[in-house]
A and B are shown apart, each in its own frame.
Chain A
Amino acid sequence: MTDWNAMSDAEFRKEVRGFFEAEYPEDLRNLPHRPKFAEIEHWHRKLHAKGWVAPAWPAEYGGMGLNAAKLLIFYEEQQRWGVNRGRDMGVQMVGPLIIKFGTQKQKDYWLPRILSCEDIWCQGYSEPGAGSDLANLRTRAEMDGDDFVINGQKIWTTMAHDATHIFMLVRTDPDAPMKQKGISFLLAPMDQPGIEVRTITTLSGETEFCEVFFDNARAPRENLVGELNKGWTMAKALLSFERIFIGSPNLAQNALGQLESFARGRGAFEDPVFRDRFAQAALDVEDHAALYARFADQLKRGETLGADVSMLKIWVTECFQRITELMIEAAGPDGGTIGPLQVGNVGVDVLSSFYKARPTTIYGGSNEIQRNILSKAVLGLPG
């Protein structure tokens, strides 16, 4: 078993980069959409054989056991080469939760199936009435013999139509004094008569989001992870690393590179107004990367990140949106055209980038919620 953490950062980066560059299929680089599992299955097999499916998991459960610094490098290299994250909800969300709060039996059963993608997971958190106010969720799970019986509806469930299982937050005690207190974390198989999935067509015409309807769906009692009614605290405990990852500069950096080559091809750099706006965007990305490096250094020194890390997400997602808007501007009369626009012998899909940037300020805690958090937890503002 390799101890990756014992390597120098540079060595480790070289190792990861080398593997991606040699092994990742060229036709899957920078996929513009979220793939179904079948589309990336051959890559997943390679990753699984290499033992690299779960970089953050401890080695004893089949992960790479990376510390925060190495993990950051791994993800940086993944994004740099345009490596698709795959269907990683199991690895990113369910696995860590089971590792932290699950029973030995749950670990033995579920973890290997996550690594092999025998089970493919989707996340059932949001509901029509529980978006930013997630604790308001209403989907009920009630005991009936040895099963939970589930009734209600989840929404924005990414790729639910290509998942075998759903992990969800459900209300198990509707009478709890605080709405955060009556919530549990439950695993359910998708293939059953009580579950119906409908895809949602997005602005860009994609169908990666779904609605999931539960009408007396069932999950065995042993699928409860952690204690009953403790699901909220458990789910929150997992978010700390995600908060720096979601604020990483890569999305904006990639879009900036795309904008520059497209705009140069289209002659937009002859326009002094465009030049200034491009320079603003480019400097916004560069200086954000400096701030990101400051937080990453904190992680590398072994410190825990504070609530202030949220500022990375606010800045970079809004910057990403401005960059994609500049792309549309540079496209001029082609700014409303679907599909790749030809510049030289490269096609740039301006609208697809624009659409991709839209939900970034909504998901992962909308930027308004992030501002609420910063104002209270960092600035100490009242109310």
Chain B
Amino acid sequence: MTQTDILLSDQEDLRLLRESARTLFERAGGSGRSRKLRDAGGCWDADMIRELAEAGVFGVTVPAENGGLGMGLAAGGVIAEEVGRVIAPEPVVMTIGLSLGLLRRLCPDHAKLEQLVGGECVLAVAWQERGPNGGPAEASCRYENGKLTGGKAWVVGAVGAQGFLVVAEGGAGPVLVLVAAGADGLAVKERRQADGSAMGELSFSGTPAEELASGGAVRDALAEAISDATALAAAELVGLSERAFEITLEYIKTREQFDKPIGSFQVIQHRAVDLNVMCEVAQSGVREALGLMDRETDPKVRARLASRAKARAVTAARKITRDAIQLHGAVGYTDEYDIGLYLNRALVLSAWLGDDSYHRRLWLEAREQEGAAQ
């Protein structure tokens, strides 16, 4: 096969993956299902996790010898876009990017990896900590003699997960440990998010944990997993933005005022075009960044590409979801219309793993360091 043939067959694989993910979500009820789950308390559907696993979703970036599809981050992005389109509450990006991102790099033979790929469990990843002023702080959570002491914050999927992958400070540098949900001395405080999901704050007092890995490898794997998850969150925002735009476009074509569809007014048309252009630029930019990450091995360059993707996706999603509310008029401000669900999910996804201005800062610093190194 020539280079072009390979590229084309890759494109074809991605297209098929996109179709099967879309069908799966649509058959399950699309964004209507997401609304029901939110109204029921904000957790995900364990059956859906298993269905997604059967379709190969969680193993998309896991190498084939460990039971995954071995397709790479671009394929993960395709799935994340579909998750975003129906604002599905299942922690797909967290599982592919963070949980499996850590396990496949640090302990690919651990039984939990297979269980995650198989959709038998969800493991939330706890690595950030909250300082006295409420903002992020240096890690101080300790792991000694098989027990954890301290706290972790901003843990996505904490409610509903069967366990936690915790990055803590050990005797000789960082360690990755596994804590079971409901373990002794573990308290989980929920912080309700705009989209109805719960963000967890964990506190440990002598909580028993199983050590999975330790040393510099943990720090490196965490950085890589964060890059992956950041890029995938960007893809999820791209899917979300596209769908939010479609819903809005449909609305302005049908909503009539002054005896005409409001979409016939030039001021509305031009705003719609700007959102459309924003959407297309985001889709191309984010897909390109994920594709480049698959071909890149330098973790710093991968981190820069992830920042590029998240910065673009947040910029686009913010503009699109907020203008979408405006273009819907008063009904856009009600809970009844789906467009608000998209705004709320965009708020949560934008804040998670860094917003656009944060990532522009990282991107520029990375670019300057690369320039200086040359």
CB <8 Å contact, A279 and B285:
no
Per DSSP, are chain B's interface residues mostly helix, strand or loop, or mixed?
A: helix
- B28 interface residue (CB < 8 Å to A): no
Contact of B266 among A286, A308, A372 (CB under 8 A): A372
Contact of B263 among A275, A276, A381 (CB under 8 A): A381
Quick check: is A140 within 8 A (CB to CB) of the other chain?
no
State in angstroms the CA–CA spacing of A147 and B167 once bound together: 87
Q: Which of B93-101, B108-116, B156-164, B357-365 interfaces with chain A?
A: B357-365
Is A343 part of the binding interface, using a Cβ–Cβ cutoff of 8 Å?
Answer: no
Residue of A nearest to B287 (CB): A290
Which residues of the partner chain B approach A382 to less than 8 Å between Cβ atoms? 253, 260-261, 263-264
Chain A residues 267 to 292 lying within 8 A of chain B, measured CB to CB, are 275-276, 278-280, 282-284, 286-288, 290-291
Question: Does A315 lie at the interface of the complex (its beta carbon under 8 Å from any beta carbon of B)?
Answer: yes
A residues less than 8 Å from B264 (CB atoms): 381-383
CB distance from A78 to the nearest CB of B (A): 24
Q: Which residue of A lies closest to B263 (CB)?
A: A381
Contact status B272-A276, CB under 8 Å: no
Asked if B338 is an interface residue, CB under 8 A from chain A, the answer is: no
Question: Which A-chain residue is minimally distant from B282 (CB atoms)?
Answer: A287
From known contacts A275-B361, A290-B287, infer whether A372 and B269 are also in contact, taking CB-CB under 8 Å. yes
Q: How near does chain A come to B261, taking the closest CB pair, in angstroms?
A: 5
Q: In the complex, which residues of chain A have a beta carbon less than 8 angstroms from the beta carbon of B270? A: 368, 371, 375
The stretch of B62-70, B131-139, B171-179, B273-281 in contact with A is: B273-281
A291 x B312 contact (CB < 8 A): no
**Neighbouring B residues of A286 by C-beta, 8 Å:** 285, 308
Is B288 in the interface zone, CB < 8 Å from A? Answer: yes
Contacting pair A379 B276 (CB below 8 A)? yes
Complex interface bits, B232-254 against A, C-beta within 8 A gives 1, otherwise 0: 00000000000000000100110
Residues of B within 8 A of A375 (CB): 269-270, 272-273
Contact status A288-B360, CB under 8 Å = no
> Which of chain A's residues 308-340 have a Cβ closer than 8 Å to chain B?
308, 311, 314-315
Complex Cα distance A276/B269, Å?
30
Q: Does B311 contact A (CB under 8 A)?
A: yes
Interface residue B205 (Cβ < 8 Å from any Cβ of A): no
Contact, CB under 8 Å: B276 / A291 = no
What is the bound-complex CA distance between A169 and B277, given in angstroms? Answer: 32
Is A315's CB under 8 angstroms from B287's CB?
Answer: no
* Residue in contact with A283 in the complex, picked from B266, B273, B287, B308, CB distance below 8 Å: B308
Q: Which residue of B lies closest to A284 (CB)?
A: B281
* A281 CB, min distance to chain B CBs, angstroms: 10
With A371-B270, A381-B252, A383-B264 in contact, do A283 and B360 touch (Cβ < 8 Å)? yes
A100 interface residue (CB < 8 Å to B): no
Is the Cβ of A374 less than 8 Å from the Cβ of B363?
A: no
Residue A291 contacts which of B261, B269, B272, B280 (CB distance < 8 angstroms)? B280
Place the interface of chain A in its size category.
Answer: 20 to 34
Given contacts A278-B364, A371-B269, A380-B253, whether A290 and B288 have CB atoms under 8 Å apart is: yes
Contact indicator B285/A381 (Cβ below 8 Å): no
* Assembled-state Cα–Cα distance A279/B308 (Å): 10
The residues of B that contact A291 with a CB separation of less than 8 Å are 280-281, 284-285
**Could you say which residues of chain A place their CB within 8 Å of the CB of B360?**
276, 279-280, 283
B364's nearest neighbour on chain A, judged by CB, is: A279
Tell whether, in the assembled complex, residue B273 and residue A379 are in contact, meaning their CB atoms are under 8 Å apart: yes
What are the residues of chain A within 8 A of B312 when measuring CB–CB?
283, 287
Instruction: Give min CB distance, B199 to chain A, whole Å.
Output: 27
Within 8 A of B (CB), among A193-230: none
Is B253 touching A294 in the complex (CB atoms < 8 A)? no
- Given contacts A287-B281, A381-B263, whether A293 and B269 have CB atoms under 8 Å apart is no
- Give the distance in Å from the alpha carbon of A314 to the alpha carbon of B284 in the complex: 16
Give the shortest distance, in Å, between B78 (CB) and chain A (any CB): 16
Contacts of B280 in A (CB 8 A): 291, 308, 311
Taken together as a complex, chains A and B put the C-alpha atoms of A294 and B261 apart, in Å, by 33
In the assembled complex, which residues on chain B have CB atoms less than 8 Å from the CB atom of A380? 253
A282 to B364, CA, bound (A): 9
Q: How far is the CB of B348 from chain A (nearest CB, A)?
A: 23
Inter-chain contacts of A28 with B (CB < 8 A): none
Contacting residues of chain B (106-163) with chain A, CB-CB under 8 angstroms: none
Best-buried of A280, A283, A291 by chain B (most CB within 10 Å): A283
Q: Roughly how many angstroms separate A233 CA and B169 CA in the complex, as a whole number?
A: 73
Given contacts A378-B276, A379-B273, contact A315 B281 (CB under 8 A): yes
Question: For residue A315, which residues in chain B have a CB less than 8 angstroms away from its CB?
Answer: 277, 281
Chain A residues with CB under 8 A of B265: 383
- CB-CB under 8 A for A283 and B363, given A311-B277, A374-B273: yes
Specify which of B261, B263, B285, B357 is in contact with A287 (CB 8 Å cutoff).
Answer: B285
Q: Quick one: given A279-B363, A315-B281, A368-B270, are A293 and B253 in contact (CB under 8 Å)?
A: no
| A315 CA to B281 CA, complexed, in Å | 9
In Å, the complex CA distance between A278 and B270 comes to 26
Tell me whether A283 and B311 are in contact (CB under 8 A).
yes
Of B272, B281, B284, B311, which one neighbours A381 at CB under 8 angstroms?
Answer: B272
For A245-263 the 0/1 string (1 means CB < 8 A from B) is 0000000000000000000
A381–B277 touching, CB < 8 Å: no
Contacts of B282 in A (CB 8 A): 287
Question: Would you list 21 pairs from A and B whose C-beta atoms are within 8 A, ordered by A residue?
Answer: A275-B364, A276-B360, A278-B364, A282-B364, A287-B282, A287-B284, A287-B285, A287-B288, A294-B284, A371-B273, A374-B277, A375-B269, A375-B270, A376-B269, A379-B272, A381-B252, A381-B268, A382-B261, A383-B261, A383-B264, A383-B265
Across the A-B interface, give the 6 residue pairs with the lowest CB-CB distance, nearest first: A287-B285, A383-B264, A375-B269, A279-B360, A290-B288, A291-B284
